[in-house]
Structure 1
């Protein structure tokens, strides 16, 4: 049975796709990342196909798909999760959703804070202890994020607001996303986006009410 995994994340400005072989550990065979908050829809499929080509495999070789489910903006999450679901359906393979912050935090050590841009002068955040999430995910103004971490990771601009050393990945990595899957033998749960707050766009009917 194939142990190759397609990993996707669009919860941040990074449009990420990669091919990972899982076993006792994970091995990244190929990873393509485009940093552009307006290019999720345009770049995700080309990045997937480029990573597949770089790895020298076929999409039919995948055994599973892993996708970051946020927290993140509505439009970005929708692109990534819909694409992951489409590959899973077309190939008849399971699709595992994980917290996108775990794709960063699992690569940290010690007491770490992972933050990404939530706009509106707020951050998405989660706390980790030796790569294991112990608090969050949540969305808050930086002043309202609980203290106690000794290092920060994620968006450097926002991590710097906390006055602690900034280290670790800026964006979810394909290796981190795959490592974040808790149980490969279980039937994956339905994909549920972690918006953590209402979308910016409000339907007209709701506006009238």
Structure 2
């Protein structure tokens, strides 16, 4: 049907690897033709290509049938994001179709699109990635902070719902907001967030990962370098 777009979606910003094939209508309605979600953050690189092949097969489509690729750009861990973005870029380049990067938190926020919401995901090191939304539009973030900091902020800037892993939503909401246990974006939500950009038909900007902080390997390397520096006396 004229105006429809068939989109491959990928997200590796959380511990769950997400991929799917989504049909977008001219009005922006998203229907998922096939999807895979695997909770295994240690095997992003090993399983992502296989999952993509599976969803295309299930949808009865080939790469040539796709109109665009949408990939979650984070925020998330360095290694996971690198795998997802590199894979999306490779598919787009091979098929000659645009690749749209979207904030993964924006896609998770779709479950509370009609409310004032705080969305969080696990940033490790006892911190969370977060963003605040009103009626589906991001009003603050994305950023990274300890859950206690966000809990304190709710007293001054209350929200209707806290969306994310229950281990984080419970202490942050603390009975002051509804908890919604959405831990990763869905393929349909990823495609929906990118709808305006896809329908505009213009070339998307280069993919930019939202790391929000340096990778662990770099910090450990810096710490090791500091430990090797000579100790000197001085004021």
1:204: Cα distance to partner?
Answer: 8.7
Encode CA deviations 1:106-129: one digit per residue, 9 max, x unaligned: 221311111000011100001111
Higher helix share: 2
In the alignment, what sits opposite 2:162?
A: 152
Residue 205 of structure 1 and its aligned partner are, at CA, apart by 7.7
Change (3 A) 1:42 1:132: same
TM-score by length of 1: 0.94
CA drift of 1:103 comes to 1.1
State the SS of the aligned residue for 1:179. helix
Give the TM-score, by structure 2 length. Answer: 0.84
What is the CA distance between 1:47 and its match in structure 2? 1.0
Distance 1:132 1:13 in 2: 25
Q: Distance in 1 between matches of 2:193 and 2:49?
A: 23
Q: Which runs of 4+ in 1 moved over 3 A?
A: 203-209
Bigger CA radius of gyration: 2
RMSD of aligned residue pairs (Cα, Å): 1.8
Counterpart of 1:61 in structure 2 is: 65
Q: 1:183 to 1:168 in 2, by over 3 A?
A: farther
Cα distance, 1:101–1:204 mapped onto 2, change above 3 Å: closer
For 2:208, the equivalent position in structure 1 comes to 192
- Indicate whether 1:139 and 2:144 are aligned: yes
Instruction: For residue 150 of structure 1, report the CA deviation from its aligned partner.
Output: 1.8
Structure (1/2) with the larger strand percentage? 1
- Extract unaligned runs of 5+ from structure 1: none
The separation in 2 between residues aligned to 1:205 and 1:176, in whole angstroms, is 37
Following the alignment from structure 2 to structure 1, what is the Cα–Cα distance between the partners of residues 40 and 219? 26
What is the total number of aligned residue pairs between the two structures?
A: 209
Deviates more, 1:67-76 or 1:127-136: 127-136
